[in-house]
Amino acid sequence: MKMNMRLWLGSILTVLLLIPAASAFGVSSPYWTDNPLVMEPGESREVILSLQNMLGGEDMTIQAEMIGGSEIATIIDSDTVYPVDFGERHVPVTLSIAVPGDAELGSAYSVNIEFKEVKASEGSFVGLSTAVATSFPVQVGESAPEVEVQYPVEPQQGPNYLWIGLILIALLAVVAYLYKKR
């Protein structure tokens, strides 16, 4: 009986260790520091960023906030709080970029957006959450063609650690039962 209890506790502990202790998310962008967006004076364009949640096994809620470049850029989605379910590879965040007509050729702006995990902190400890601050330069010059990004048709599911853990518990339970019968 003692051996079986130890086995049960050991298996549960093993499973808990296998399940990641934190979830996280990512932001994909077609523009970055070394790959600026080039637009002409007076030009307007939409840029789509992608939120994804491929790790941790839990759905997340992400809040977006412009922290720089609001003189030329705005988030045009009706709600800047985005549910990103586990396994989602493309939750779009749409920006509208408008370069003033009197902008000087060769000048540049910086668009900065922070994406923060909306998370309640519970329990008697110091909780940690994650945030991602993405930015890209907008250069005023001869306009380049819009970047066409291929988005996934269906979200790809990453490994579901919870199910893996439950299956392991079941297997260990079988082993324990057989050991007991012996």
Partner 1 sequence: MARRRYSRRSRRRSNNLHQGYFIAGLLFLAVALFAVTGDGGITGFATSDDVGLNITVGNIAPTVDDISNISAQNPTEATFTEVIFTFNATDSDGGSQLTGPTGRFNLTGEAFRDNASCEEITVINSTSREYRCNIKMYYFDAPGTWTVNATISDSNGDSGTRLETFTFNQLLAMVLAPDNLTWASLAFTDTNSTANNDATQINNTGNANSNLSVTALDLHGETTVPDTLNAENFTVSTHTGGTCSGVTCSECTETLQANGSAVNITNATLPRGNFSVSDLDTGKELFYYCLLALNQSISSQSYSTSFLGPWTVTQFAV
| Six-digit token string for 53 | 């949640």
Contact 132, 112 (CB under 8 A): no
Applying CB under 8 A, among 8, 26, 43, 172 the residue interacting with partner 1 is 26
- The contact pattern for partner 1, residues 77-116, with x = CB under 8 A and - = no contact, is ------------xx-----------------------x-x
60 binds partner 1 (CB under 8 A): no
Question: What's the CA gap between 121 and 141, in Å, rounded?
Answer: 46
Partnered with residue 83 across adjacent β-strands are: 61
- Out of 79, 102, 104, 122, the only residue in the binding site for partner 1 (CB under 8 A) is 122
Residues 113 and 73: their CA atoms lie apart, in Å, by: 10
Stretch touching partner 1 by CB under 8 A, among 36-44, 52-60, 102-110, 171-179: 52-60
Tokens 């990512």 belong to residue: 26
- Of residues 117 and 176, the one with the C-beta less far from partner 1: 117
Reading phi first (left if > 0) and then psi (alpha if -120 to 50, else beta), residue 123 is in: left
User: Counting contacts by CB under 8 A, is residue 29 touching partner 1?
Assistant: yes
Residues of span 124-153 touching partner 1 by CB under 8 A: 124-135, 147-151
Binding window for partner 1 (CB under 8 A); candidates: 33-41, 76-84, 96-104, 165-173? 33-41
Tell me, by CB under 8 A, how many residues bind partner 1: 51
Which tokens is 162 given? Answer: 């919870």
The b-or-e profile of 156-174 (16+ CB within 10 A means b, else e) is: eeeeebeeebeeeeeebee
> Among 69, 61, 5, which Cα is nearest to 31's?
69
Among positions 15, 37, 54, 93, the unique one binding partner 1 when judged by CB under 8 A: 54
Q: Footprint of partner 1 on this chain (CB under 8 A)?
A: 20-35, 50, 52-56, 89-90, 114, 116-117, 119-135, 147-151, 156, 158
